[in-house]
Amino acid sequence: MSAFVIAARRTAVMPRGGAFAALSLQALAAPVIAACIADAGLEPGAVEELIVSNALGAGGNPARMVALAAGLKSGVAGLSLDRQCAGGLDALWLARALVVSGQAEVVVAGGVESYSRRPLRFRTDPGGGTPVAYDQPAFTPWPERDPAMADAAAALACALGISRGEQDIWAMASHARALAARGRLRAEIVALPDAPGQDDGFARALTPALMARAKVITGPITAANAAVAADGAAFCVVVSRRIARRAGRALRISGGTTLGGRPEEPGLAPVAAIARALAGAGVAPSALTVVEVMEAYAVQAIACVRGAGLDETRVNIGGGALARGHPIGASGAVLAVRLFHEMRHGAGLAAIAAAGGIGTALVLEA
């Protein structure tokens, strides 16, 4: 049994507080799902399950909210998952499992995140004191092995000897590729009825002088070589071979995995996941025609590309998250959408790291 991606769309990605700041999760996601279903040549009633990654919401099964807003049949219960940054790719791998097992023939999978409208979070005091606000939740039971993400990126740069200069060069190239690809990126972006803009809102022409003036977050990590918090949604239609035969275009999900690594080194977790996913698909790194690697931090992308033996010239050819932003729960699905639209032959890879030392990789073949 096999599963295939036959349609893939996304919103533009907008920085927190920008053009999408007023939109709910369902307002971001529903138009994208409708566009995916139309691209696939299906009716909304054909969708049997909706899997939605969301990392910053308040719970309450946002997938059900999105399913209802998207006009799917009431029998679609919706499944929400939270694996932080990796969730958007995990949603596709789970959709594949449903299809391959025969539980469904048509599954829509992806992610949505509104950083702008995320709930405020507080830790209660068991002693009855004032609740304390927090931003990053705990990702391990050991505080000493649970660094802030920027601190983990700085430690990775130090451990691997990746300088700020190298990170800045990577970031400038990401923005430059995104600007050069803006015309073709519009083919995958769904314009939202309640917000302006059909282009990713953050890409810009960076120079060494601008990079040098960027605010330092910690060590070699700056506001220019780290992805900004963002809002966005991305979804794919995953189907059985029978449905795929009727589609105009289909990419087979031929490999994938999610692995845990050292919690204090989340940036390196995708390296092992990439190796296992490629081995499972029977694809060598040199055979990949397109690669989408998450750029939460430039150093993390550099470390993964080098550690996995990937060809840098095939990585993020339309720009990466440094030029878009990081809508956490949707970011993995954005990579899959990018892969679907860039691939024309051969095999492609999407890979992402997540807090807590988690890496997910997915292989698509034309």
Please list the helix, strand and coil fractions of the chain in percent, rounded to the nearest 5, in that order. 35, 25, 40
Residue 105 domain-assigned (yes or no): yes
User: Out of 85, 175, 236, 341, which one is annotated catalytic?
Assistant: 85
Read off the pTM: 0.96
In a domain, 254, yes or no: yes
Mean pLDDT of 177-197: 92
What's 285's DSSP letter?
G
**131 lies in a domain?**
no
pLDDT value for 195: 82
State the average pLDDT for the chain.
95
In a domain, residue 132? The reply is: no
- Count how many domains the chain has: 1
Model confidence at 310: pLDDT above 90: yes
143: in domain: no
Q: Is residue 198 part of a domain?
A: no
Tell me which residue range forms the domain holding 272: 3-118+226-365
The pLDDT score that the predictor gives to residue 149 is 93
Residue 326 annotated to the active site: yes
Across 282-306, average pLDDT: 97
pLDDT at 186: 95
DSSP helix/strand/coil, 277: helix
Look at residue 58 and tell me whether its pLDDT is greater than 80: no
Q: Is 241 domain-assigned?
A: yes
pLDDT at residue 77 is higher than 80: yes
Strand partners, 354: 358
CA distance 11 to 152: 29
Active site residue 85: yes
33 located within any domain: yes
Contacts of 41 (CB under 8 A, 6+ apart): 246, 247, 248
Whether the Cβ atoms of residue 30 and residue 70 lie closer than 8 Å to each other: yes
Q: Which of 36, 236, 304, 326 is catalytic?
A: 326
CATH number of the domain that residue 231 is part of: 3.40.47.10
